[in-house]
Structure 1
Amino acid sequence: MMKLRPTLLALALAAPISLLAMADSPRTQAPATMQALVPTQQQADTSAIVHGLLSDSRYAYRPRVLDASLGAEVWKRYLEALDPSKVYLTQQDIASVPDAPAKAVAAVKEGDYAPMYSVFDIYRKRVVERSNYVRGLLKQDIFDFTGNDRYDYDREDVAWSDAAALDVQWKQSVRSDWLRLKLAGKQPDEIRKTLDKRYANMVTMIDDLNAEDIFQTALNAYTGSIDPHTDYFNPRAAERFNQSMSLSLEGIGAQLQKRDDIVTIMELIPGGPAARSNLLKPGDRIVGVGQGEKGAMEDVIGWRIDDVVAKIKGAKGTVVQLDILPAEMGIDAKPNRIQLTRDKVVLADSKAKGEVIQLPGVDGAPARRIGVIKVPAFYQDFDARRSRNGDYVSVSRDVAEILAKFNADKLDGVVVDLRNNGGGSLDEAVNMTGLFIDKGPVVQERQAGGRITVRSDRDDSVQWEGPLAVLINRASASASEIFAGAIQDYGRGLIIGETSFGKGTVQAMVDLDRVVPDRSQDQYGDVKLTVAEFFRPSGSSTQNKGVSPDIAFPATLDADEYGESTYDNALPWSKIDEAPHATYGQFAGLLPELKRLHDIRSADDVEYQWRVEDAAEFRAQREKKWISLNEAERRVERDKEDAKRKFRQAERKRLGLDLDPLADDGADDGLQYNERDVAREAEREKLADKAPDPLLREAAAILGDAARMLDGDRALAAQVLPKSTQAGNWAK
C-alpha cells in the first residue's frame, strides 16, 4: 500500500504571483487561434490513477462510485469551472453534447476527454465572439445614463440562457464599466481605449491556456465532486503548492505579473538576489532571459508567465541573465542586461510576525502591553524536515521565538491573530497548540474505516503561561480551527471574533509519480486527497459549524454566503467521544463582565463603529446583487462615499488616531488591478498593511480587561490560568 503524506492543507494559501503557472511549453507570441486539444495517454494514465484513489476506501475518506449520477455532477462542475457566471456558453452549446454524464464518466475512467475538450473549444470560440461583440458596442451610442436601468451582476443561480439574452447581459456590463470610468473623471476617448484593451485581453487570457490547464480543470471537476477539498495538481501546480507551504524557493526573489504581454516585476522579496542587487524595481519589465554568464538570450515577450518563471528560477548559486526594460522607458527602448546569482529565497512576508499594542491604564490600574502574533498560515518546509538536519521553516518555531521575546519583555497578554488564515500543516497546528498547554490531546482524527487516532502535544513545557486570546474570522479555517478549538476546549484562552469557516477534514498529498513504477519524474502530478475528519479534544467537529467565539465581533459574511456550509457536497457536522484532557480555566465567569466592558468601549470607539457600519453596508450590497446605471444616482453614492472617507480621516486627525494611509488616494478610479500603475499598486499593498485595525486593538483591550480582572482576584486566576502561573511563575 502506498504511503500517504498527511497534512492538513489550507483552503487558499496565497502564493506570490511569480509562482502562479499553468503551462508546459513556451511560445514566442500569443497565437491568434489555439490548436485543438487532443487527449494524451499520459492524461489517461493520470486520470485512471486519480480515479483509483478516490474510489478506494483505503485512501479516500468518502469514496464514491463513478456512476451516471456522479457523472452528471462532474459535467456540471466542469461547465461552471469554464464559465462560472454563465455569460459565454449558451443553453444550445450545453445541449450540443448528448449524454454528457456518460461522457464525463468515460473521461475519468478511460481518459477520453475529447468531449470535454470539444466544449472548451466552443467556450474559447464564444469568448472570441463576446470580445468582438463588446468591443463593437464601444462604437455605438448606448452610453446614456439618465434612465432607470440596472446591471445584475450576481449570476450564481441563473440558468444557462440563449445568445440574445447574453447580448443584453453583456451590453449592461459594458455600460456599467463605462459609467464607472466616467464617474472617475475619464473622458470618452480614454474610456473607449481602456475598455477596448480590457475586452481584447479576454482573448489573450484564453490563448494563454493549454492542454494541461484544461485537463487539470476537467479532472478537478471530478475531484471536486467527491468533496470540496480534494484537488488534482499538475506537476507545476504541485511544485507551487510545496513552495507556498515551505515559504521558500530558489530563484531571484521577485513577484511577477503579466502586463501587456510582458512579464513585469510587481515586488522584490526582501533579502533576495533581485533586491540585494539594487538593479531592479517594481514596474521594470523582463523581455529576455539567458542561462549562465554566457548563455544565449531568449526573447520572452508574449510568453506565459509560468514559462518565464521556469526560465528565471534555478538552483542556488547558478547565474541567470535578464534583459530589463525599466519602468520609465518605452517598449522600443534598448533593454539593460543584468546578471543575478540565484539563491534560496525565504518569503518573509508570509511568516508569523509579532508586535506590541500599548493599552492605557483604566480606573487607576497600570497601562498594559499586549503582544500580538499574526499567523498568516500554518506553514512547514516538509522536504527540509524530512532531511533530518533540524533546520527547516516552521510556524511553531517562529511563534516560539516571538513568545520568548514577549516573555523577556514581560508582556501582560498575547493575542494570536488567525484572521484569514486558511490552514496548513496538521503537525504545526499540534505543535503550536503545545506552546500554550502542558501536554495532552490537540486533535482527534477519524479515518475512512472509522478508526480514531489522537494527535497530542507530548512536550510538557509551556512557552506562554499568561493570559491568551485567539482572534478569528470567517476566513479562519482548517488548522486555524484546530488551534482555536483546542485552546477553547482546554479553557486556555478567549476566542474572539467571528465564527470560523467550518472546514473539519484532513487532506494528504499523494505524489502520483510514486504510485506508478518505472516512470519518468514529474510526469503525473499530485492529488490532495481527503483522508480523515478531525475533531476537537471535546469530541465536537468543526465541520460546517466552525469554532464559535466567546466574544463576537460583527460578522461581515453570513454562513450562507461564505464557508464550508455553502458547499453542496460538504460533510455534515458530527461528534465523537471526548479525548480526556485538562481544563485550565472556566472563562464563563469572566465573560459577562468582559462583554459589558467591550460593549461600552466599542460604542465609543469610532474606528470600531465605522467597521460595523461598513460591514452592514457590504452585506446590504451583497443582498441587492445589482448596481444602478443611473448616473445621477451613482454620483450621489460616489459623493457620499467620498465625503465619508474625508470625514473619517479628519476625525482621525481631530482625535489623534492613526491615519489611514490610503484615505488620501481618492475614490474609485474605475480601473482593474492589472490596469493600474505597477509601482503604485505595490506601494498601495504595503500601505494597506499599515491601515488602522480596530478589531485587533479591541481584541487586545478585551484581553487587557481579562488580565486586570485576574490580577485583582487570586481565586479567579486559580480557575483560569495554568498552575505555574497561579503560583506566581508568570513574570510581570
Structure 2
Amino acid sequence: MVLRSSLILMIALAGIFLKSHRVGESDQAKKEFFTLQAVIQFMDRVHYKPKSLDDELSKHVYKSFLQSIDPAKRFLTQADIDLLTPYELQIDDQISNRSFDFFDLAEKLIAGGISKSGVFYRESMAQDFDIHASPDSLIINSDDRGFAKNDEDLREYWRKLIQYETVVKVHGLKIAQSEDEEMKDESTLIKEARENISENFDEWFKRLKSLRRSDRFEDYLNAITNAYDPHSNYFSPREKENFDLNMNGSYEGIGARLMPEGELTKVTEVIPGGPAWKQKDLEANDFIIKVAQEGEEAKDVRGWRQDDVIGLIRGKKGTKVILTVRKSDDTEREIVIIRDQVVLEEGRAKSLLIRTEEQGAEIGYIRLPKFYFEQDNKPGCAEDIETEVNKLVQEGAQGIILDLRNNGGGSLSEVVDMSGLFIDKGPIVQVKSRERKPYVLEDEDPAVQYQGPLIVLVNHFSASASEIIAAALQDYNRAIIVGGSSTFGKGTVQRFHELDRFIVGNNDLKPLGEVKITTQKFYRVNGGSTQLKGVIPDIVLPSPYNYINAGEKDLDTPLAWSEIEPVDHKQRIMVLPDRQLLASSSKERVNTNPKFQLIEERAQLLKAQEEEKMKYALNLEGYSEEYERREKQSARFEDMYKSDAPLLVRNLEAEITKIEKDETRKANNEDFIKGVSRDLYIEEVLNIMKDMLSQQ
C-alpha cells in the first residue's frame, strides 16, 4: 500500500512538473514554482488533516508571513500594510494560478523598510539626549502594539528604541563597574554604550540587507505549511543538514536545540547529557538575546538567521560562551557555559535508591531524559529501563519512581516495549492515519518485570512518547501520575519527504529541500487523544507553568483533540490505592509547604505578567527602579525548587565500581545525586509513595 501511494503521488507531481515549464522563465522562478507546488501537493496528499486552498488558509499565510519578515514591527508601516491588505484573501488563488504578486510586493516592501529604518537608526544615533530627563516609555513586545502609522511614526519609534537601548546599556555598565577598581564617569559610560549599540546595530542591518529572496521564500513556504499545523515545516537543504546534525552523531557546543520565534532565538530543548544540561541554568522556553565569546564584547543576535546564531554559539571544547537570555518572567540573565562534546546518545536512563529520614524503606528512582532507540550496539531505552528496574528490585526497592520531566519523546517502539515492563500484555497506544482505521501497538510479552507500586513524574514539557506511557499506565490503573496541570499535549507524528524524488527532469534545479509533515495522531487505549489536552496527572502539584501559555494548545493552528473507540485493556498486576485519598493527603502537605506556596505565587505572578502590557521607562532612574523590582522578585524564587530537608540518596551497589573507575562519570554522578537529594518534587513524590505503601 505504501509503494502504491508513493507511485500515485509521484505520477501526480510528475504531471504538474512536466506541464509547468515555460520558455524564457528564469531558473529562480522555476525553482520557486516547483518547490511551492511540490509542498502543496505533499501537504494535500500526505498531511493528516489537509486543508482546502481557500480564504481561511490565505488569511493564516498572510498573517504568518508578515510576522516572519517583520516580527518586531520595526520596518513596515501601516501604510505598507494597507498596500498588502488586498492580498489577504487572494493568496490561495495565487498559489493555484502560479502568481507570486503578494510575495513579490511583501519582499519589496520589507527590503525598502529595512533600508528606511537603517536611515532612522543612524539619525537617532546622531542625536544627543539626556538619559535622566525623558518622560517617555516604550512598549517592546510587538504583540502589544500596532505598526507605526507612517514614516514619521516609524522614525519616532527608532528614536525611542535607541534611547531605550542606551539606558539599558548604561545601566548594565554601571552594575558591572561596581566591582572594578577604577570608576568611570557617566559620560564615559554613555560613550561606551553608544559605541556598543552602534556596533551591534550596524552588524544587524548588514545581515538584514544580505538576506536573499530565497531566504524570505523559505519563510513564505513555512507560513503555508504552518497553516496546516505547527509541526509541519519546509526545510531548505542547508536547514535539513543542520537538523540532521542536531539529531545524530555529535558536535562541540552547548547542547541545546534552537528555533526562531519572531526576531528572537528560542531554546526548545536542552539536550540531556550536554554542557547546558549539566550546568542547569539554560531552560526550554528561554530566549537568547546576546552571545559573547570569552573576553569579547557580546553580540546582540535579535533578528539574526538561526544558522548564524548556532554558528556563534558552537565552538571548540573547553572554551566559554556567554549567553544573555530572557526568562519567562521577562528578566534577563547572563549564563556562562563551557562548551564540550555534545554526544546525542548521552542522557541514558540511570537510577538511584532514595528515602527520607523518616522513611525506612528505600524507593527506586529512575530518570529517563529521552526515549532513545538501539544504535551502535547500545541498547534502546526500554532495555535500559528493564535493567535498572531489575537492579532496583534486587537491592530491595519497595516502590519505583519513573521521572519523565522534560522528556520530549522519541522512539515509538521503545515506549511500547517499556510500557510492557509493568503490565502482562495488551494494547499500549492506538495510531491513526487520516484515511485508515486505527491500528493498535501492543505489548505482546506476558512477562512482567515489575509488579510493585509505581509513580510516573511528569511536567509541562513531558511530550509525545512520555505522554504515551503516562497515559497507558494511567488507563490501566497501573501507576499514579504526578506533575503540573498537564503534560505538553503533542499527540502527532511527523515524517520527512524529500521533494527532489518527484522532479521529472529539471535536475539543474535540485536540491529543492524537504518537507516535514504531520501524518498520524496518537490515541490512548481509552480512545482519547493526548493531542492538546496532554495527560492530566492524578495528583497535580504547583508549577510555574500551570497558568501561562506553555504547551501544544498555545501554538498556532494545532490539530484538534478528538477521540476514537477504546480498546479492551486491563491488568491484574496490582490494585492501586484510592487516588482521591492520595491526592487529598498530598494537597494537605503542599498547602503547608512554604516552597510549594512560593511556586504557586510564582505561577500567579507569571500569569499576571503575561497579561500585562509592559512599558519600559526611557530614563535611567525609571528603568533602574523597574529592573531592581524585578530582580528582587526573581531572587525570592531562586531556591523554590530545593527541598529544605535533603533526601538520603545512594547509588546501587552494582554501579559503584563502574562509577569510581571513571572520573567524568564520578563527577556527573555527584551532580546527579546532589540534584535529586534537594529536589522538592521528588520529596513530595516520596511522600505519596509512602502513602501508597501504607494503603497496601
Q: 2:183: which partner in 1?
A: none
Deviations 1:299-327 (A, max 9, x none): xxxx99969999xx9xxxxxxxx999998
Q: 1:579: which partner in 2?
A: 567
Shift of residue 219, structure 1, vs aligned partner = 0.9
- Asked if 1:184 is matched to 2:178, the reply is no
After superposition, residues 361-440 of structure 1 pair within 5 angstroms as 361-362=357-358, 365-366=359-360, 368-375=362-369, 377-380=370-373, 391=377, 394-440=380-426
Shift of residue 222, structure 1, vs aligned partner = 0.9
How far apart, in 1, do the equivalents of 2:41 and 2:519 lie? 14
- Report if the CA contact (8 A) 1:497-1:549 is conserved: yes
Structure of higher RCO (CA pairs closer than 8 Å, 6+ residues apart) = 1
User: With structure 2 as the length reference, what TM-score do the two structures score?
Assistant: 0.70
Q: 1:239: which partner in 2?
A: 241
How far apart, in 2, do the equivalents of 1:380 and 1:188 lie? 55
Look up the SS of the partner of 1:415 in the other structure: strand
Task: Rate the CA distance shift 1:52–1:324 in 2: closer, same or farther, 3 A.
Answer: closer
- Asked if 1:701 is matched to 2:683, the reply is yes
How far apart, in 1, do the equivalents of 2:687 and 2:645 lie? 23
How far apart, in 1, do the equivalents of 2:394 and 2:61 lie? 56
Shift of residue 46, structure 1, vs aligned partner = 2.3
How far apart, in 2, do the equivalents of 1:189 and 1:538 lie? 66
The count of residues paired between Structure 1 and Structure 2 equals 582
Shift of residue 620, structure 1, vs aligned partner = 2.1
Q: 1:30: which partner in 2?
A: none
How far apart, in 1, do the equivalents of 2:681 and 2:641 lie? 20
Look up the SS of the partner of 1:184 in the other structure: helix
Shift of residue 224, structure 1, vs aligned partner = 0.9
Greater mean alpha carbon deviation, residues 501-510 or residues 648-657: 648-657
Shift of residue 106, structure 1, vs aligned partner = 6.0
Of 38, 42, 48, the residue aligned with 2:31 is 42
Task: Rate the CA distance shift 1:554–1:653 in 2: closer, same or farther, 3 A.
Answer: closer
How far apart, in 1, do the equivalents of 2:243 and 2:132 lie? 46
How far apart, in 2, do the equivalents of 1:501 and 1:648 lie? 24
Shift of residue 149, structure 1, vs aligned partner = 4.1
Q: 2:434: which partner in 1?
A: 448
Look up the SS of the partner of 1:225 in the other structure: coil
- Report if the CA contact (8 A) 1:357-1:370 is conserved: yes
Look up the SS of the partner of 1:441 in the other structure: strand
After superposition, residues 188-587 of structure 1 pair within 5 angstroms as 188-207=190-209, 209-246=211-248, 248-249=249-250, 283=293, 346-349=343-346, 351-356=347-352, 358-362=354-358, 365-366=359-360, 368-375=362-369, 377-380=370-373, 391=377, 394-449=380-435, 451-498=437-484, 499-516=486-503, 523-557=511-545, 561-567=549-555, 569-583=557-571
User: With structure 1 as the length reference, what TM-score do the two structures score?
Assistant: 0.67
Shift of residue 357, structure 1, vs aligned partner = 6.4
- Report if the CA contact (8 A) 1:477-1:503 is conserved: yes
Task: Rate the CA distance shift 1:122–1:255 in 2: closer, same or farther, 3 A.
Answer: farther
Of 24, 43, 50, the residue aligned with 1:54 is 43
Deviations 1:365-408 (A, max 9, x none): 41534413142x43448xx6xxxxx7367444454454454445
Shift of residue 103, structure 1, vs aligned partner = 6.1
- Asked if 1:616 is matched to 2:604, the reply is yes
Shift of residue 115, structure 1, vs aligned partner = 4.3
Deviations 1:102-160 (A, max 9, x none): 76336644665464144234323323433443354344344545666443233326544
Q: 2:583: which partner in 1?
A: 595
The one-letter amino acid paired with 1:347 is L
Look up the SS of the partner of 1:565 in the other structure: helix
After superposition, residues 644-659 of structure 1 pair within 5 angstroms as none
- Report if the CA contact (8 A) 1:44-1:110 is conserved: no
Shift of residue 576, structure 1, vs aligned partner = 1.6
After superposition, residues 139-178 of structure 1 pair within 5 angstroms as 139-145=126-132, 149-156=136-143, 158-163=145-150, 164-178=152-166
- Report if the CA contact (8 A) 1:43-1:111 is conserved: no
Shift of residue 189, structure 1, vs aligned partner = 2.0
How far apart, in 2, do the equivalents of 1:214 and 1:111 lie? 18
How far apart, in 2, do the equivalents of 1:268 and 1:87 lie? 33
The one-letter amino acid paired with 1:346 is V
- Asked if 1:626 is matched to 2:614, the reply is yes
Shift of residue 430, structure 1, vs aligned partner = 2.5
How far apart, in 2, do the equivalents of 1:75 and 1:483 lie? 39
Deviations 1:175-206 (A, max 9, x none): 44333333334321222222222322322442
How far apart, in 1, do the equivalents of 2:257 and 2:532 lie? 36
The one-letter amino acid paired with 1:457 is D
After superposition, residues 1-150 of structure 1 pair within 5 angstroms as 39-56=28-45, 59-97=46-84, 99-101=86-88, 104-105=91-92, 108-109=95-96, 112-113=99-100, 115-145=102-132, 149-150=136-137
The one-letter amino acid paired with 1:42 is K
Look up the SS of the partner of 1:96 in the other structure: helix
Task: Rate the CA distance shift 1:98–1:700 in 2: closer, same or farther, 3 A.
Answer: closer
Deviations 1:66-97 (A, max 9, x none): 13442332222211121233332222223334
Shift of residue 536, structure 1, vs aligned partner = 0.6
Q: 1:727: which partner in 2?
A: none
Shift of residue 626, structure 1, vs aligned partner = 0.3
Q: 1:675: which partner in 2?
A: none
- Report if the CA contact (8 A) 2:582-2:691 is conserved: no
Shift of residue 359, structure 1, vs aligned partner = 2.8
The one-letter amino acid paired with 2:68 is A
How far apart, in 2, do the equivalents of 1:628 and 1:305 lie? 27
